[in-house]
Chains A and B, each alone.
Chain A
Amino acid sequence: MDTKKMAIIATKGTLDWAYPPFILASTAAALGYETQIFFTFYGLQLVRKDLSVLKVSPLGNPGMPMKMPFGPKWFKSINWNMPNAIQSLIPGYESVATALMKQTIANNGVATIPDLRELCQEAEVKFIACQMTVELFGFEHSDFIDGLEYGGAATFFEFAGETDICLFI
């Protein structure tokens, strides 16, 4: 049987959206898929050496529950969503939301993004960074982890054209 293949385009640079590409890629690799992720636009943040740049923003995100990761059960079940106009006025709102999200992630036995990324690399998931957006955003190759390849759309299609599953995230 031929090896199955999966390609993902990762375009989002927030803590929450960092999960789908790394979860799917690491799982695909465990299932025996040859897997590749093409990081472009804000997705480049996912291959930075410093992942502390990843934040989650409740602003303009009505689907995101704002719940506390500590306290008794009744307290944890309260949804603290508030209007965008108020959120945007509170200094450090995103940083607090990010800290709470990280605590929730830890409480639920969900892997951290640095761990999942490392698991992908151990499983030989190939990472390709979009050279055009690296330049567009003024990044240097030294901003990114080792083991990245740099290429463009044609590089992506070379592999994506042969895949069984191809996702845009």
Chain B
Amino acid sequence: MNFDKELDARGLNCPLPILRAKKALAEVASGQVLKILSTDPGSVKDFAAFAKQTGNELLSTAEAGGEFTFFMKKK
């Protein structure tokens, strides 16, 4: 998937992946896509909840070898 910015939140734990994502989203324009890497298993539900509450769209969630990849489109 194409993306405009990447955030490496691997090794970070709650609530840092969300806080960093919020910051990274502030640096892209509306409609642009942020790719987020995380190793926090809690971040799967957290990013879904974050998207629902902020109106940013979670395009996809994938897991491979304990690593999670999210694509989020800015509102």
Contact = CB atoms under 8 A, between A and B. Distances in A.
A60 interface: no
Interface stretch (A42-50, A103-111, A127-135): A103-111
Contacts of B39: 109
Interface in B3-52: 11-16, 18-19, 21-22, 39-40, 50
A41 to B, nearest CB: 25
Interface bin, chain A: 10 to 19
Q: Is the interface of A mostly helix, strand, loop or mixed?
A: loop
A23 B12 CA distance: 14
Contacts of A119: 19
A163 interface: no
Contacts of B2: none
Interface of A: 23, 26-27, 30-32, 108-111, 119, 123
A20 B13 CA distance: 14
A31 B15 CA distance: 12
Given A32-B53, A32-B54, A27 B18 contact: yes
Nearest to B55: A32
Contact of A30 (B11, B12, B13, B18): B18
A19 B39 CA distance: 21
B15 A27 contact: yes
A34 to B, nearest CB: 14
26 contacts: A23-B15, A26-B15, A26-B19, A27-B15, A27-B18, A27-B19, A30-B15, A30-B19, A30-B22, A30-B50, A31-B54, A32-B53, A108-B13, A109-B11, A109-B12, A109-B16, A109-B39, A110-B13, A110-B14, A110-B16, A111-B12, A111-B13, A111-B15, A111-B16, A119-B19, A123-B19
